[in-house]
Amino acid sequence: MAKLTREDVLKLARLARLELSDDEIENYREELSEILQYVEQLQDVDVNGLKPTNQVTGLTNVTREDEVRDYGYDTEDLLKNVPKVKDHQIQVKRMLG
């Protein structure tokens, strides 16, 4: 039975790049434990001989010609939602110390 600790929640938050407040950590610890306990009912289901399903309509390998298509999008237009742009590029914070 999944009963998450505070450290478990912090680990998940770290993996998912989420900053959480102390209150949030405690709330999520309880809520996520409850949700995981609910979904654990599947662990007793007999699935012997069955394969997992990833795609439900049976499509496989939908391919197309590898060619350039012009959809008429303008670079400026595609960058207009980006918080910080410099010389047509996305500007981010320093990555290396």
Partner 1 sequence: MSQWLPIADIAAKVQAGELKAADLVEQALKTINDKKEYDAIIATTESRARGRAKQVDAGKIKGRLAGVPFIAKDNFLAFGAETTAASNMLKGFTAPYQATAIEKLEAEGAICVAKTNLDAFAHGASTENSDFFTTKNPYDKTRVPGGSSGGSAAAVVLDMAPFAIGTDTGGSIRQPASFSGCVGYKPTYGLVSRSGVVAMASSTDVIGPLTRSVEDAALVLDVMAGRDDLDSTTIEADDQGYLKIDSSVQGKKIGIIREHMAESLDPQIIDVIDSTVKKLEADGAEITEISLPSLPMALAVYYILCPAEVSSNLARYDGQRYPYSYTEAKDMDDSYFGSRGRGFGKEAKRRIMIGTYVLSSGYYDAYYKQAQTVRTKLINEFNEAFRQVDFLVGPVAPTTAFKIGENINNPLQMYLADIMTVGVNLVGNPAISLPAGEIDGLPVGLQLMAPQKADRELLALAKSTEALLV
Q: CA-to-CA distance for 50 and 52, rounded, in angstroms?
A: 7
Q: Which of 19, 22, 23, 70 binds partner 1 (CB under 8 A)?
A: 19
Count of residues binding partner 1 (CB under 8 A)?
50
**Site track 29-68 with partner 1 (rule: CB under 8 A), x = hit:** --xx-xxx-xxxxxx-x-x--xxxxxxxx-x--x-x----
- The interaxial angle of helices 22-39 and 6-15, nearest 10 deg, is 90
Provide the 3-class DSSP secondary structure of residue 10: helix
Q: How near is the Cβ of 56 to partner 1 at its closest, in Å?
A: 3
Q: How far apart are the first and last CA of the chain?
A: 41
Contact (Cβ atoms closer than 8 angstroms) between residue 78 and residue 90: no
- Which residues would be at the binding site for partner 1 (CB under 8 A)? 9, 12-13, 15-20, 24, 28, 31-32, 34-36, 38-43, 45, 47, 50-57, 59, 62, 64, 71, 73, 77-78, 80-84, 90, 92-95, 97
